[in-house]
Amino acid sequence: MTQHMLSSILILIIAFLSLIALMIIHEFGHFIIAKKFGVRVDEFGIGYPPRIYGKKFGETIYSINWLPLGAFVKIYGEEGGVDDLRSFVNLKIWQRFLIVIGGVAAFWIAAIIIFSVVFAIGADLPVGDQDVQGITNVQIKVLEVAQNSPASAAGIRVGDTLLGFNKVKDFQDFAKENGGQAVDIKIKRNEKVFNLSLTPRVNPPAGQGSVGVGLERMATLAQKYPWYQAPIKGIAYTWQTTVNSFVGLYSVFANLVSRKGLPQGAEFAGPLGITVFLANAVSYGAGFFLYFIGTISVLIAIFNLFPIPALDGGKLIFLLIEKIKGKPVSVKIEQNITIVFFIILIALSLFITIRFDIPRFYNFLKAAFQK
């Protein structure tokens, strides 16, 4: 096994642990507010059972478990059917609301901290095709290469820089104008510059484009911000990322409903796919890696707010119904509905993993073995 292969595997592990860390922060948000309101917390676990090791401090067991797929917090009475002063169901609705929303808020707080660090150290960040003041060294970077695509056949790799183009749209227009024709493009890879022959497709598959690459316009921030300004920039960037994410999700759903397919650049990804994206982000430096984690934190926060039972947003809907009706939804009904949607989410996750994530993972390992 070569040094590069070992490095790629290590990067993949770091990326996966970073994703797990976000899940731990999310559960800690539930945990800390529950403790604040005096609710008994039976267990705070990293990973999912069966348990490897557990140690009880006070009334809470802190455990490490075999399935490294996230984290969990077991709050006394959260599933209902308990009449106790220190149970979740005994709290007022606004207190339960804060416990539920605490996990989502933890994602945004994590994003603010991460983006603050990014602006403190300086980094190459995506700027889109719009003109942005105060940036230098604009580059068009390759974030992903689709399998069996013209880009893959030409030898384009993740991390390459496309030279001669100032905007992503410039390259897209160039590829469209030369559909079916072999053209030379200039690539920069690890400080080396060379030409590759590329033949864009005339009728590409939906969501891939004529070349089959995921591109991002990157630019270097003109200056590193001092420590007292970095948090302000972090808060502003978290807000901007949140707004952009909502707009992007609206575009995705609108296109799916109208059967137009995914918008250009949008892709389905599960935990494995996100891990691969994070691993690829390492090649752009620590700043971009942190930026990517911060962005994922915002996206997961928004996803958790979806009004779907089994997610935090679904729990908030049940609390809203209780507020309107004046009494809680039947424990059995809530549990059955949650189980049904949980199974649906697991099935959808498995589909995305098999259909989209495993090919990405395969391409990542293939690239690691080829270098």
What tens digit of pLDDT does each residue of 343-370 get? 999 999 999 999 989 988 888 887 777 6
265 and 323, same domain (yes or no): yes
- pLDDT tens by residue, 7-28: 778 888 888 999 999 999 999 9
Neighbours of 250 (CB within 10 A): 10
Closest alpha carbon to 263 in 244, 237, 288: 244
The pLDDT of residue 235 is 95
Top pLDDT among 6 and 162 is at 162
Q: How many domains does the chain have?
A: 2
Q: What is the pLDDT of residue 259?
A: 74
Q: Are residues 167 and 115 in the same domain?
A: no
Domain that holds residue 212: 124-223
- 164-197 pLDDT, tens per residue? 998 888 999 999 899 899 999 999 998 899 999 9
Task: Give pLDDT, residue 184.
Answer: 93
Q: How far is the C-alpha of 349 from the C-alpha of 353, rounded, in Å?
A: 6
Domain shared by 252 and 317, yes or no: yes
Q: To which H or E segment does residue 145 belong? A: strand 135-145
Task: Flag whether pLDDT at 1 surpasses 60.
Answer: no
Structure tokens at 295: 């962005």
Let me know: does 121 contact 224? Beta carbons within 8 Å: yes
The residue-averaged pLDDT of 323-341 equals: 90
Rounded-to-integer distance, Cα 241 and Cα 127, Å: 11
Last residue of a domain, one of 223, 244, 278: 223
Instruction: Summarize the confidence of residues 224-246 as an average pLDDT.
Output: 91
Q: Under DSSP, is residue 53 helix (H, G, I), strand (E, B) or coil?
A: strand
User: Residue 3 has what pLDDT?
Assistant: 66
Could you tell me if 290 and 310 lie in one domain? yes
Same domain, 9 and 131: no
Residues 207 and 242 in one domain: no
Q: With beta carbons less than 8 A apart as the criterion, state whether 306 and 338 touch.
A: no
Indicate which CATH number applies to the domain containing 129.
Answer: 2.30.42.10
Smallest CA-to-CA distance from 62 within 80, 37, 81, 43 is with 43
Q: Is residue 64 part of a domain?
A: no
